[in-house]
Amino acid sequence: MTQRDIAGKLDINVKTLHKWKKDRPKVYELLMLGLKVQEILDKLKKECEDLENSLDVKNLQKC
């Protein structure tokens, strides 16, 4: 994800993001960590949905 993508997702200006990175490194680090956690959660949710769909198909095939 680019800096522009991140700024857009946070609804802030890219310059603001750069300023936070320079002047508020802990804030920037927490934002990046939060975005990474969200990315992981989204991936896990998708994998769970795929697994549930796979199990539903297998159960239908047994009938």
pLDDT in tens, 10-61: 999 999 999 999 999 999 999 999 999 999 999 999 999 999 988 877 777 7
Domain span at residue 15? 3-62
Tokens matching residue 56 = 């539903």
Q: What is the DSSP string of the chain?
A: --HHHHHHHHTS-HHHHHHHHHH-HHHHHHHHHHHHHHHHHHHHHHHHHHHHHHHHHHHHHH-
* Position 62 pLDDT exceeds 90: no
pLDDT at 40: 98
Domain count, the chain: 1
Q: Residue 17, Cβ neighbours under 10 Å: how many?
A: 19
